[in-house]
Structure 1
Amino acid sequence: MNQLGMFAKYWLPGTVKTRLARSIGDDKASQLYHHFVITLLARFQELGDRRVLAYSPIERRAEFAAVTPAAWELIPQSSGDLGRRMNRFFDSHLVGHEDRVVLIGTDSPTMPAQYIDEAFAVLQTHPVVLGPSRDGGYYLVGAAGQVPPIFAEIDWSTPSVWQQTVDRLSSAGCRFAELPLWSDVDDLADLARIADELTQLTQADPTWTSLYSHVQTALMDVS
């Protein structure tokens, strides 16, 4: 079974997109993050055999339920740091020999859907797949079968996340496949870049219009 998971945090101002908020303010950053979540849930609601939104904190279920399409299941994230929560997610969803799990975050709203399809395909021949991001982390991680302890004691939210994870995989003797490089939206430069990208995407597909409008509004307020 191909299972797509997405980790999302409640969009409380001051707690999400904090680097971007230094340029556009907490409220605008929160609104953008909220729209990133909505965009990704809508775009990927037909991918895989099962889709799971793992949300945080647990008491915000109602707010997530209000924006989550019926094609997604809602579950609360477990406790602990990001690495521990990721390990528990994979452990709880990789229960059969044919199970493949791909996990994404909410920082790459324009990530091509084909990358997720490619990840599932790669997991038929590799135990782990990673999608590297330009900031030194990764926008996607997938696994088939038992996952080695590769997420423990990682310096999350630093440029060394990718290399530390790759080193853990190498130490465990675990083969992995690599997807194309992609970008997160973390700061004002990233927001300007995605605005240019969305200009082209919106011309080809009007469903991008809402996200494009939110991004343009945030940038106009800065200028």
Structure 2
Amino acid sequence: MKKDFFKRNLLLIFARNPVPGKVKKRLAASIGEEAALKIYNHLLQHTMKITRNLQVDKWIFYSEEIPEKDIWDINIFSKKLQQGKDLGERMENAFRSGFEAGFSNIIIIGSDLYDLGEEDLKKAFLTLQHSEAVIGPATDGGYYLLGLKSIPSQVFKNKTWGSNTVLQATLQDLKNHQLIHLEPRNDIDRFEDLEKYPGLLGLISTKNEEQ
């Protein structure tokens, strides 16, 4: 029974290819592209560590291309490419692929949440067993996690992705669904976010003279 339970669960991980100038652009404006890349690579490592032992299927979706070598063990993670014109369409297509593959409970996360742990993800999957949807609000007005049993028609459409309106617009789309809220968490998009984590700050040089 327990084995069947896990077989129905799928974790989607959205990641950007770690290339200078392509990741953490708002953060790079303050600390420089190379420092922002260093932070992002550390966050990717964190995401890999908290998901690798999770007893669900795991698909990692790259933004640009699937590299030959990376940190994601092919025996644990299936590697795929995001498909779509914007983030909403890319997420919807990823969910749709999961449901078409026979999964019943699908959760999506990004790859840059330092506050997220393996136990949080276990809790999210357990929560989704007893609800139609689960959402993890981000403190910047977006969300860091979304779990669904089906794809509501508007949830990935008509959003200004990356803005502080995404969460409220998504909640409006899900108002007629049984939705469980997780604890709010902090995304790392700006220098003010980074300042809350001395361990991450220590990764970058204080002598960085870039903007």
Q: TM-score, normalised by structure 1?
A: 0.83
Percent same amino acid among aligned pairs? 28
Q: C-alpha displacement at 1:43, in angstroms? A: 2.0
Moved more, 127-136 or 31-40: 31-40
CA distance in 2, matches of 1:135, 1:221: 28
Q: C-alpha displacement at 1:105, in angstroms? A: 0.3
CA distance in 1, matches of 2:115, 2:27: 17
**Cα RMSD (Å) of the superposition?**
1.9
- Which residue is equivalent to 2:32? 25
- Which residue is equivalent to 1:201? none
Q: Is the 8 A contact 2:108 2:146 kept in 1?
A: yes
- Which residue is equivalent to 1:181? 184
Structure with bigger RCO (C-alpha 8 Å, 6+ apart): 2
Counterparts of 1:19-168 in structure 2, within 5 Å, are: 19-58=26-65, 60-62=66-68, 65-69=69-73, 70-95=75-100, 99-168=104-173
Q: Relative to total residues, which structure has the larger helix share, 1 or 2?
A: 1
Question: Any idea what the Cα deviations from partners look like across 1:52-103, whole Å, max 9, x if unmatched?
Answer: 1011212x422xx421123111011112100001111111102477621111
Q: 1:80 to 1:71 in 2, by over 3 A?
A: same
Q: C-alpha displacement at 1:222, in angstroms? A: 5.0
Please state whether the residue corresponding to 1:221 is helix, strand or coil: coil
Q: C-alpha displacement at 1:19, in angstroms? A: 1.1
CA distance in 2, matches of 1:125, 1:56: 32
CA distance in 2, matches of 1:131, 1:104: 9
Q: Is the 8 A contact 1:134 1:181 kept in 2?
A: yes
Q: 1:81 to 1:87 in 2, by over 3 A?
A: same
Q: C-alpha displacement at 1:179, in angstroms? A: 0.3
CA distance in 1, matches of 2:179, 2:153: 12
Q: Is the 8 A contact 1:132 1:162 kept in 2?
A: yes
Q: 1:118 to 1:27 in 2, by over 3 A?
A: same
CA distance in 2, matches of 1:91, 1:147: 11
Q: Is the 8 A contact 2:63 2:81 kept in 1?
A: yes
CA distance in 2, matches of 1:160, 1:145: 23
- Equivalences, count: 201
Please state whether the residue corresponding to 1:164 is helix, strand or coil: helix
What one-letter code is carried by the residue in structure 1 that aligns with 2:127? Answer: V
Any stretches of 5+ residues in structure 2 without a counterpart? Answer: 1-7
Q: C-alpha displacement at 1:149, in angstroms? A: 2.7
Q: TM-score, normalised by structure 2?
A: 0.88
Any stretches of 5+ residues in structure 1 without a counterpart? Answer: 196-211
CA distance in 1, matches of 2:143, 2:154: 17
Q: Is the 8 A contact 1:192 1:219 kept in 2?
A: no
Q: C-alpha displacement at 1:117, in angstroms? A: 1.1
